[in-house]
Amino acid sequence: MDSLNEKLAIITGGTSGIGLATAAILLKNGIQVALVGRSLDKGEQAIDVLKNHGSNCSFFQGDVSSVSDCKHIIEKVIEKYGRLDILINSAGLYMEKMIAEVTEEDYDHIMNVNVKGTYFMCKYAIPELRKVSNGVIINIASDAGINGNLLFTTYWASKGAITTFTKALALELSPYYIRVNCVCPGDINTPLLQEQLAKERNPITALEEMEKLYPIGRIGQPEEVAEVINFLVSDAASFVTGAVWSVDGGLTSC
């Protein structure tokens, strides 16, 4: 696609779904990938899956809801690779609850992963991104970061924070030639969505009803979001920063 060879990308939440699909595409383009996740077993499984896409991939265990883990992850990646060019914050949690039912523990759990994890991974990555030319940060939010919806106040608040944080950070880092963009997927066929559907009385009917919400008539695939991320990290997007990219089959246009 362009001169991406030898670059290093960190992908949090990289062991499944959008993160894993993004890793596969970046590896095909010659980018080294450092996956980050909480589960060592899932990390090893992801590395095994990615073997067919490229060998320059490794796994770093850590929990982005912990500020010390965020710092440690960056340190360990730099120790191994000696550089950082791209940070993709894909780790995230989902919750569907009315505000009357949300506990302080619920709130903290969502915010610590979705907001604090994104924020502090950026904080500790920035000094390393400043050392390379044209560093890139991609934050994964959601259609929930654009439009509100019923029963999702905590999740929506966390994703809305990511979209506005992205814009503010893009302005702060533009003097250092670090581009910061946000991707907002709609419902995507990931393990997280399958878990959500499995809680329904009739998962097939629930999926059909979900698909009716989309002007394009279906939900998305992880690879479709990954292709947008791949564009945003490439030199083809060199004039794109502070942008919020909807990848939602037209959902937020309704």
Alpha-carbon distance 174 to 180, whole Å?
8
Which DSSP letter does residue 33 get? E
CA–CA separation, 138 and 25 (whole Å):
15
Residues 108, 87, 176, CA angle at the centre, nearest 5°? 110
Instruction: Clarify whether 124 is annotated catalytic.
Output: no
Which of 168, 167, 191 shows the shortest CA–CA distance to 92?
Answer: 191
Strands of 8-12's sheet in order across: 57-61, 32-37, 8-12, 86-89, 136-140, 179-185, 244-247
Distances (CA, A) of 48 to 15, 128, 217: 11, 28, 33
CA separation for the pair 222, 46 (Å, rounded): 15
Q: Which of 107, 124, 155, 214 is catalytic?
A: 155
Asked if residues 188 and 221 have their Cβ atoms less than 8 Å apart, the reply is yes
- Percentages helix, strand, coil for the chain, rounded to the nearest 5? 50, 15, 35
Q: Which helix (H) or strand (E) holds 10?
A: strand 8-12
DSSP 80: H
Active-site residues, by number, are 155
